[in-house]
Structure 1
Amino acid sequence: MYFKSFFDEKLAHMSYLIGCQKTGEALVIDPARDVAPYHAAAKKEGLTISAAAETHIHADYLSGIRELAGSGGVKLYVSDEGDQEWKYQYLNDYEHELLKDGSTFYIGNVKFEVLHTPGHTPESLSFLLTDEGGGADEPMGIFTGDFLFVGDVGRPDLLEKAAGAKGTSETGAIDMFRSLKKLKDLPDHLQIWPAHGAGSACGKSLGAVPMSTLGYERKFNWALRITDEKEFVHELLTGQPEPPTYFAQMKKLNKEGPPLLTREEIPRKSAPTEGAVIVDARDASRFSDGHLKGSLNIPYNRSFPNWAGWLLDYERYIFLIAEEGRIGEIRKALSSIGLDQVKGYMDPEDLPGQLETYESISVEKANELMTDDHYYVVDVRNGNEWEDGHIREAHHHMLGHLPEADLPQDKTLIVHCQSGARSAIGASLLQAKGHEVLNVKGGFSAWKGAGYPVE
């Protein structure tokens, strides 16, 4: 048996290529939209991808399962659990098999047994793997999707908070508690292969280790140690991070059928495309020193897809400001969450002479200005960060919801986050909306470090 995992650090997403070396067949589990790495790995091992499977309809990235099916000769294995709201709607175009609790399928001599493990979503499945070709007669591991993570379990509130399915948070938490009971007769040596690691918004305390064992999780995963259902539900629903707004769009597209990728070249232009949002992917310091008026600064780093998903309109064209050599990777990051509408780019060396700027100030200067009624302090951190402590004069407007925030136009906005990174994005957004802005260097951490008061 051949086994290879793939990790997208920007989405904290894990996917897997499983092959039977005796028959030359291979399966991809929970594929990302960019399927080239799977084909390259399979080709290197002399394998042909003949199937793709998903543990559930994903909300945090655009699935590559249709991309694989569209290449021909790839059979899809997907869930038939859950009600009609959670059924795939594009399967008739491709060879497929619908899976329920107790279903079994093979890739060569590798056996997959299906467990229905609802909680994160109603249709969620897990796949037990047994390498019969290697002589095994019991499973060696389980692909858990967003059901069981290293150190955590999948959050049950996304359907309610991101997809608008009211009343599903507590029901999902109860389902999760009961799904975990299905693991009680499985052996401690069973390896756990989840779909996400630390940094994902699909849970609140995911571990950074890419895999674990069921025995280890039984000892140290909080969710497997709580035996009372009410206590479990309360703990699971408490402290979950704010779900990005784009999650609802991902659910919709992954259910209806993710669009197939196009390979059109992005043109280099001397001026932005009319009507497009200008996304400047340079680092914050270079942006603040000079940028096109009205542009949004989302630095290209690990959090780029997350904030692009939060802040960009799926119905509006995108124009990029970035070095020519980075356009391909930036485009790939955007397409991983379905933002395909990039219509052009400008290299920073082509920026005109007259540019807009904003100033970053120290916490000492911020403290001095806060007593002046001409200034208004904006804290763009997450809700749990705000609740753990904040500046007395600050007003909380989480970065992801900043586009809808009603802020005073007659005051200069002093923007801060925990370290200065998110507030730089926020400062660019607010400046593009016509506000005078100042960004606080070092953010709340520097404020506390300087000994200033905290509420």
Structure 2
Amino acid sequence: MFVKQLYTNCLSEAAYFIESKGVAVVIDPLRDIEVYLDLAKERNATIKYIFETHFHADFVSGHLELAKATGAKIVFGPDAVTNFEAYIAKNNETFAIGDLTLKVLHTPGHTLESSCYLLLDEQQQPYAVFTGDTLFVGDVGRPDLFSGNLSKEDLAGMLFDSLNNVIKALPDNVIVYPAHGPGSACGKNLGPNTYSSIGDEKATNYALLATDKQKFIEEVTSGLSTPPSYFPINAKINKEGYDALQAVMDKAMQPLTPAAFKAKAAAGALILDTRNASEFGNGFVPGAISIGLEGRFAEWAGSLLPFDQDIILVADAGREEETIVRMARVGFENVVGYLDGGWAAWEASGLQKDLIITVEPDELAMDLPHDENLVIVDVRKPAEFASGHIKNAINLSLGDMTDPGKLGDFEDNHNLYVHCQGGYRSIIACSILKREGIHNLRNVDGGFAKMKDEKGLDVVQEKAVLN
């Protein structure tokens, strides 16, 4: 028996490769499928099935690409309806994988079609359960994502039944392999690990400890942040289908001279710069939006960028293809070229450039008492802001900055000092503000993590929100 978790930090996503006696299956694959093909070759195995736990909202699955490449059958659990050929399994239906067996457990709640897959070992004993977004380490899948006319309360009720009637009935030693780990927006507060056991979750996970259905519904549905704007787009793509990744790559991998790059931008293409945040601040193409590959790139790209507008890239030389693949994972098929030679080529061309001034927290502390026009802009999430922020700062969450109407009522004489927790999100925010014509701003280096210890910067909490 061979079981491998393939974890992608950028999306907090886990896919799985299972093999026995030369027969392999993949659960919840990403759109770029080479890693699964390489594993099959390494194991001298044939991929027979591709199992999907549900219609994913946070990434574009690789089920169609992998099926085309291998001839494997795509399998969904009960109640799934697709626009492509797939096998819709029955609850408790089993599939042979060499000496192993995979059993379908229909567990609606996160979505109607959500299903878990129980792996039985060579002795037909329960070994592991692949829970998708039904059960995470320390959390469960949110019940407010795109399931027809059902309310989140309706789905939460179904989730309670699925957890109590199906998941909790499994032996304590069964390994729990979820579809996501810490940082995922598919739950409220996932634990730090990417796998667990039924026994550990029954002992520590609030959702499995709950015994009152109504209280469970209230707890699971309260405190949910607004889901990222790209979630419904990805869910629709996964249900209806998508273009081949190679076609997306062929369209996007078009090198552009600085002059051609400038012309495309002038014609309406959006400029995305994926270099490190600090490098972007030191110089960038005017109007570019920064989303560095070093952070939660795909998630922020999906949340902040348009899917219906041409995009052109500025990337570190040699990382253009990586950028395009990571964008395709969340459904982008509208990249139409990249700056040949990267930022160095733009600098050498002598064309106009822009920059973002970065200051240390002590400089902000010195300026604060003497500048009546100084505005501290905290772009963290509301919950982060509530737990501790600089006195008199305003909260303009980065996730809300796709709407120009939410960018704040800033005056021309305002001096904006923008920060997040560590510096990644604030550079993105500064680039968006500059693109909207707000240039009198500074990025605070190190964000709140450094600012909270600076003398002269008072930290307060929003106790009414926290309570």
Same fold (TM over 0.5): yes
- Paired with 1:412 and 1:87, the residues of 2 have a C-alpha distance of 53
Correspondence 1:100 to 2:121: no
Do the aligned partners of 1:412 and 1:435 also contact (CA within 8 Å) in 2?
Answer: no
Distance in 2 of aligned mates of 1:230 and 1:400: 31
Alignment of 1:140-289 (within 5 A): 140-159=127-146, 168-181=151-164, 182-261=166-245, 262=247, 263-264=249-250, 266-271=253-258, 272=261, 273=264, 274-289=267-282
Which letter maps to 1:414? Y
In the other structure, the counterpart of 1:88 is 82
User: Distance between the aligned counterparts of 1:406 and 1:422, measured in 2?
Assistant: 15
1:358 to 356, 359, 362: 356
- Equivalent residues of 1:80, 1:98 under 8 A apart: yes
CA distance in 2, matches of 1:189, 1:399: 41
Distance (whole Å) between structure 2 residues aligned to residue 114 and residue 72 of structure 1: 22
Tell me which residue corresponds to 2:463: none
Partner of 1:129: 119
SS in 1 for 2:418: strand
Q: Is the 8 A contact 1:155 1:203 kept in 2?
A: yes
Contact residue 396 and residue 407 of structure 2 kept, 8 A: no
Contact 1:413 1:435 in 2 (8 A): no
Distance 1:9 1:104 in 2: 31
Which secondary structure state, in structure 1, belongs to the residue aligned with residue 167 of structure 2?
A: coil
1-side partners of 2:451 and 2:214: how far apart? 39
Q: For residue 78 of structure 1, what is the aligned residue in structure 2? A: 76
Residues of 1 paired with 2:53 and 2:150: CA distance? 23
1:44-80 deviation digits (Å, cap 9, x = unpaired):
1110112111010000100100111222521111123
Give the aligned partner of residue 54 of structure 1: 52
Cα separation, 1, equivalents of 2:450 and 2:283: 25
Code of the residue aligned with 1:158 in structure 2: it is L
In the TM superposition, what are the counterparts of 1:306-317 in structure 2 within 5 Å? 306-317=299-310
Q: Does 1:4 align with 2:8?
A: no
2:398 aligns with 399
1:287–1:185 Cα change, 3 Å: closer
The Cα of 1:29 is off from its aligned counterpart by 0.7
Task: Specify the SS of the correspondent of 1:248.
Answer: helix
User: After superposition, what is the alpha-carbon deviation per residue over 1:217-260, rounded to whole angstroms, capped at 9, x for unaligned?
Assistant: 11122221121223222322333444211111111111111322
Structure 2 distance, partners of 1:72, 1:43, is 12
Aligned partners of 1:102 and 1:115 also within 8 Å: yes
State yes or no: 1:453 paired with 2:447. Answer: no
TM-aligned CA deviation for residue 117 of structure 1:
0.8
The alpha carbon displacement at 1:192 in A equals 1.0
| Pair 370,89 (structure 1): closer, same or farther in 2 beyond 3 Å | farther
Which region of structure 1 is more displaced relative to structure 2, 101-110 or 247-256?
A: 101-110
Distance (whole Å) between structure 1 residues aligned to residue 150 and residue 393 of structure 2: 33
Aligned to 2:389: 390
Which residue type is aligned with residue 64 of structure 1? G
Show the counterpart of 1:443.
447
Structure 1 CA distance for aligned equivalents of residues 390 and 407 of structure 2: 20
Unaligned runs of 5+ in 1: none
Cα distance, 1:88 vs. partner? 1.6
AA aligned opposite 2:159 = M
**1:25-40 to 2 correspondences below 5 Å:** 25-40=23-38
* Contact 1:370–1:393 (8 Å) recurs in 2: no
Structure 1 match to 2:464 = none
Distance 2:42 2:278 in 1: 42
- CA distance 1:167–1:375, shift in 2 (3 Å): farther
Assess if the C-alpha contact under 8 Å between 1:409 and 1:435 holds in 2.
no
Aligned pair 1:338/2:331, yes or no?
A: yes
- C-alpha distance in 1, partners of 2:62/2:232? 17
2:386 maps to a residue whose letter is E
SS at match of 1:360: strand
Higher mean C-alpha displacement, 99-108 vs 328-337? 99-108
Distance 1:13 1:146 in 2: 10
Contact conserved, 2:168 with 2:208, CA < 8 A, in 1?
no
Matches within 5 A, 1:61-72: 61-72=59-70
Letter in 2 for 1:316: Q
In structure 2, runs of 5+ residues without a counterpart are: 461-467
* 2-structure distance, mates of 1:186, 1:388: 38
Determine if the alignment matches structure 1 residue 348 to structure 2 residue 343. Answer: yes
The aligned counterpart of 1:416 is: 419
Measure how far apart 1:158 and its partner are: 2.9
Once residues 167 and 409 of structure 1 are traced to their aligned partners in structure 2, the CA distance between those partners, rounded to angstroms, is 44
Q: Counterparts of 1:200 and 1:406 in 2: how far apart (Å)?
A: 25
One-letter code aligned to 2:195: M
In structure 2, the partner of 1:112 is: 102
Task: Supply the distance in 1 between the matched residues of 2:427 and 2:305 (Cα, whole angstroms).
Answer: 16
Structure 2 match to 1:430 = 433
CA–CA distance in structure 1, aligned partners of residues 367 and 138 of structure 2: 44
What is the percent sequence identity of the aligned residues?
A: 38
Q: Structure 2: how far apart are the matches of 1:137 and 1:51?
A: 19
TM normalised by structure 1 equals 0.91
Aligned pair count reads 438
Q: Distance in 1 between matches of 2:428 and 2:73?
A: 42
| Equivalent pair of 2:100/2:124 in contact (CA under 8 Å) | no
Of 410-419 and 341-350, more deviation after overlay is shown by: 410-419
Give the stretch that moved more between structures: 308-317 or 343-352: 343-352
Tell me the SS of whatever aligns to 2:255: coil
User: Given that residues 157 and 169 in structure 1 are in contact (C-alpha distance below 8 angstroms), is that contact kept between their aligned partners in structure 2?
Assistant: yes
Separation in 1 of the partners of 2:450 and 2:3? 45
